[in-house]
Amino acid sequence: MSDAWVYDHQDLGEPVHVDGSPIVRPVVPLIVADELPAVLGVLDSGSPISVASADLFAFLGVDMEADDPLYEIPLSVGGGFERTPVFRVRLRLSSPGDHTHGVSWSLDLGARSRWRLPFAVLLGQRGWFDSFPTRIDATTSTVELPLGSASDGEH
């Protein structure tokens, strides 16, 4: 029996591709607080960093007004550049189909304002791929993580 966690890619309601095929994203469910539903994290191995909607950070225990970020990074927003603060936070990756089990880990996460993407978190090289060996298979539209034995653990 496979010891991997496998997540199906998801159609987030984006307009179909010009050839009529649906756009599906490699998505994992993330818990930011026990009493809240999962938010969606899209895996992007081409992104050097991980960023999220600034709206999430209060629920992650970050006071955006009072807490000093680890550092800032310039990202383009609405045609201009904006310095994006990066904070150390903890997220929990939910196991497939069961948000009551998961693996928690710490990552540096940028807080981007005016977020209009269909998912709340973009998981890149720093913050995701440097923590989780990940296989993204576009032939089967799945994400596979060798994490089965790590349920309810720390990472």
Is residue 5 close enough to count as binding another protein by CB under 8 A?
A: no
Residue 134 contacts residue 128 (beta carbons within 8 Å): yes
Give the angle subtended at the CA of 119 by the CAs of 117 and 72, to the nearest 5°: 70
Size of residue set near another protein by CB under 8 A: 36
- What whole-number distance in Å separates Cα of residue 53 and Cα of residue 55? 5
Residue 147 contacts residue 4 (beta carbons within 8 Å): yes
Give, as ranges, the residues between 70 and 129 that touch another protein (CB under 8 A). Answer: 75-76, 99, 115-120, 122, 124
Residue 25 contacts residue 84 (beta carbons within 8 Å): no
Give, as ranges, the residues between 32 and 71 that touch another protein (CB under 8 A). Answer: 33, 35-40, 44, 46-47, 49, 51, 53, 55-56, 58-59
The binding site for another protein (CB under 8 A) comprises 10-15, 23, 29, 33, 35-40, 44, 46-47, 49, 51, 53, 55-56, 58-59, 75-76, 99, 115-120, 122, 124
